[in-house]
Amino acid sequence: MKKQIVKLYLISALTAFFYSCSSNENTESEIEAANSKFKVINVTNHDGRPFSTGTSTTGKYVANPGGGVMMQAFYWDVPSGGNWWNTINAKITDWSNAGIGSIWLPPVSKAQNGAFSMGYDPTDYFDFGDYNQNGSVETRFGSKTELVSLITKVHAENMQVYADIVINHNSGGQSEANPFTGTNTWTNFTGVASGKFPRTSADFYKNAYGNNDEGAFGGFPDLAHVVPNVQNWLWLRTDGVGKYYKNTMKFDGWRFDYVKGFGAWVVNAWNANVGGFSVGELWDSNVNVLNDWANNANSSVFDFACYYKMNDAFDGNNLALLNDDMMWKRNPYKAVTFVTNHDTDEISNKLLAYSYILTHEGYPTIFYRDYEEWLDKNKLNNLIWIHNNKATGTTSILYADNDEYIARRNGYNGNPGLVVYINNSTSWQERWIQTNWTNTQIKDFTGSSNWYPTTQADQWVKIQCPPKGYTVWSINN
C-alpha cells in the first residue's frame, strides 16, 4: 500500500488551515521533495490548438475531431415499438444545453428483422421506416417522418448528427443460384422496396473479383467493395447511399461499423466523395494498428487503446498505465475516446474514466445509459462544461502512480487550460504540482474541494483530491 498523504477527517482545529491553503505556507523542503518526484511528460507535439470550440454563453459546441462532446444516442436492445426517435427528440434541447455537440444514431434503415432489428443486418439502405418490408413499415426506432423530425431538431440546436454505416455485410436478400459457389445463396437484393441499390451474387464475395476481402461477419453475405456497382451505389452516385444520407437526409457524418472487414481505402473513398465527419470502429488495442488505419482511411478512429488502458488502470489500481501510448496521444484530431458503448461495458470506475476523457485531448463520447440512467448526470454535466470551457491545448502528465494521476492541459489562445487530479485510493490525497500560472488563485471546478490556493512565483502549488474521485483546477475567474 502507498503511504497515505493526508486524511481530511482531521480535527476541526486544522480545518481552517487546509481550506485556506496558500503559496505563502510552502516550505523549501516540501518543494524540493516535490521536484525530486516529478517528471513532466509532454505527450503531444501538435500545435496546441484548442480541443473545445464553444463559448460558455451559448452552450453550443462545434462537433469535429477533438472538439465538442458526442453522445451515443442508443444502447443495445433499446425498446422496440417504433418510438426511439421520439424519445431522443425529446432530449435534444437538454443535451444541447448541457454542451453536447453531436449525437450518433444506430443504423437508420430497414434490416432483416424489421421492427425488431437494431439495424446491423441491413437489407434496404433507403427504407427509413416508410415501406412495408421485412414484416413492418417502421424500423425498430420509428418512421422516416420521425427520423427527419429528429435530425431537424438536432440541427435547430446547432448540433450535428452521425449515421451508423454498416457496409461490410447485408442480410435479408432472396435466394438465388450463385454461379460462383455452385449453390443457392441469399444474395438477391434486386427486389428491395425502395428500388435502389439492387444487388446480386456478383456484388458479394466470392465473385469474379476474388474469394474474399479483409473479413466476413457472422456468415452474412459479404459486400465486395471492388465491384463498380457497389462503389457507385455506396459513394459515387448523387442518389447513392452516402450522398443521399448527407444531402437529402442531412446527416453530418458517419460511424463506420466493423471496419476490420474491408480495406481502409473504402472509408477513404467514401470521405473523398461524400465528405462529413467519420469515425471507424476498429476493435484493436494496438495503437500502431489504429493510427495506420486512421491515416490510410483519412478518418477518425475509436481509441480502443485508451479504452483498454483505462480499464486496466482504474479497475486494476494502476494509474501509471495512463502513461502508456494511446491514439489520442498519437493524433488527437483522429481519436474518438469513450468509456463504454453498445458492445462493451467493462470499466467499473466510470466517473474516473469520464473525468479522464473529458479533460484530455481527443473527441470524447458519452454513452446514453451512463448519462440518462446509470451515473450522476450532474457530475457528467459538470465534466462536459469543464471540457468545453477549460480543456484546451497540449497535455503534460505531471504525476502517475498506482493510485494517483495528475495531468495539465497547457491552454491555448488566452484560455488558461486546467490541471486534473484523479485519485483511485480510499483516502484524500495532496500533491505539489507545477502549473503554468504565476501568483494566481486557482480553484477546483468540480466543487469537490473548497481550497482556493494561490500559485507561487515559480508556478508551484499544492492541490488535493477526494478518495475514488477527481478534481479539476484552473484560474478562479
Can you give the chain as a three-state secondary structure string? CCCCCCCCCCCHHHHHHHCCCCHHHCCHHHHHHHHHHCCCEECCCCCCCECCCCCCCCCCCCCECCECCEEECCCCCCCCCCCHHHHHHCCHHHHHHHCCCEEECCCCCEECCHHHCCCCCEEECCCCCCCCECCECCECCECHHHHHHHHHHHHHCCCEEEEEECCCECCCCEEEEECCCCEEEEEECCCCCCCCCCCCHHHEECECCECCCCCCCCCCCEECCCCHHHHHHHHHCCCCHHHHHHHCCCCCEEEECCHHHCCHHHHHHHHHHHCCEEEECCCCCCHHHHHHHHHHHCCEEECHHHHHHHHHHHHCCCHHHHHCCCHHHHCHHHEEEECCCCCCCCCCCHHHHHHHHCCCCCEEEEEHHHHHHHCCHHHHHHHHHHHHHHCECCEEEEEECCCEEEEEECCECCECCEEEEEECCCCCEEEEEECCCCCCEEEECCCCCCCCCECCCCCEEEEEECCCEEEEEEECC
Residues 366 and 227 occupy one common structural domain = yes
Q: Is the pLDDT of residue 375 over 90?
A: yes
pLDDT, residue 416, reads: 93
- The answer to the question of residue 5 being in a domain is no
The residue among 359, 390, 421 that closes a domain is 390
CA 331 to chain centre: 14
Closest CA to 392 of 447, 450, 332: 332
Q: Tell me how many domains the chain contains.
A: 2
Give the cell for residue 41: 511528460
Residues 374 and 420 occupy one common structural domain = no
Phi, psi of 82 (to 5 degrees): 80, 25
Query: 386: pLDDT confidence band, cut at 50, 70 and 90?
Result: very high
Query: pLDDT tens across 119-177, in order?
Result: 999 999 999 999 999 999 999 999 999 999 999 999 999 999 999 999 999 999 999 99
Sign of the dihedral through C-alpha 84, 274, 154, 389: positive
- The CATH number assigned to the domain holding 464 equals 2.60.40.1180
Query: Which of the two residues, 34 and 364, has the higher pLDDT score?
Result: 364
Closest CA to 228 of 219, 237, 216: 237
Looking from the CA of 446 toward its CB, the CA atoms found within 13 Å total 26
Closest CA to 272 of 289, 288, 260, 254: 254
- The CATH number assigned to the domain holding 188 equals 3.20.20.80
Residues 206 and 251 occupy one common structural domain = yes
Q: From CA 298, how far away is CA 293, in angstroms rounded?
A: 8
pLDDT, residue 39, reads: 54
- The answer to the question of residue 369 being in a domain is yes
Q: What integer is the mean pLDDT of 386-413?
A: 94
Q: What integer is the mean pLDDT of 89-108?
A: 96
Q: What integer is the mean pLDDT of 403-413?
A: 94
Q: From CA 78, how far away is CA 154, in angstroms rounded?
A: 20
Closest CA to 355 of 337, 373, 343: 337
pLDDT, residue 52, reads: 38
Q: Is the pLDDT of residue 25 over 90?
A: no
Q: Give the CA radius of gyration of the chain.
A: 25
pLDDT, residue 130, reads: 95
pLDDT, residue 61, reads: 40
Residues 305 and 235 occupy one common structural domain = yes
Give the cell for residue 375: 451515473
- Known binding residue 168? Answer is yes
Residues 384 and 406 occupy one common structural domain = no
pLDDT, residue 118, reads: 98
| Locus of grid cell 482531521 | 10
Q: Is the pLDDT of residue 244 over 50?
A: yes
- The answer to the question of residue 2 being in a domain is no
Query: 44: pLDDT confidence band, cut at 50, 70 and 90?
Result: low
CA 263 to chain centre: 22
Residues 384 and 424 occupy one common structural domain = no
Query: pLDDT tens across 327-369, in order?
Result: 999 999 899 999 999 999 999 999 999 999 999 999 999 999 9
Residues 404 and 463 occupy one common structural domain = yes
Residues 173 and 322 occupy one common structural domain = yes
- The answer to the question of residue 100 being in a domain is yes
- The answer to the question of residue 56 being in a domain is no
The residue among 343, 358, 390 that closes a domain is 390
Residue 257 falls in the annotated catalytic set? yes
Which of the residues 257, 404, 430, 444 is marked catalytic?
257
Which of the residues 130, 176, 214, 281 is marked catalytic?
281
Q: Is the pLDDT of residue 67 over 90?
A: no
> Residue 146's domain spans which residues?
70-390
Q: What integer is the mean pLDDT of 236-258?
A: 98
The residue among 390, 410, 438 that closes a domain is 390
pLDDT, residue 149, reads: 98
Residues 459 and 335 occupy one common structural domain = no
CA angle 147, 265, 221 (to 5 degrees): 65
- The answer to the question of residue 54 being in a domain is no
pLDDT, residue 414, reads: 87
In whole numbers, what is the pLDDT of the chain averaged over residues?
89
Residues 400 and 272 occupy one common structural domain = no
Residues 222 and 351 occupy one common structural domain = yes
- The answer to the question of residue 260 being in a domain is yes
Closest CA to 160 of 151, 168, 169: 151
Residue 401 falls in the annotated catalytic set? no
Cβ neighbours of 350 (radius 10 Å): 18
Residue 361 CA: distances (Å) to CA of 90, 307, 410, 416:
30, 14, 11, 15
Q: What integer is the mean pLDDT of 272-295?
A: 97
- The answer to the question of residue 25 being in a domain is yes
Residues 468 and 349 occupy one common structural domain = no
Q: What percent of the chain has pLDDT over 90?
A: 83
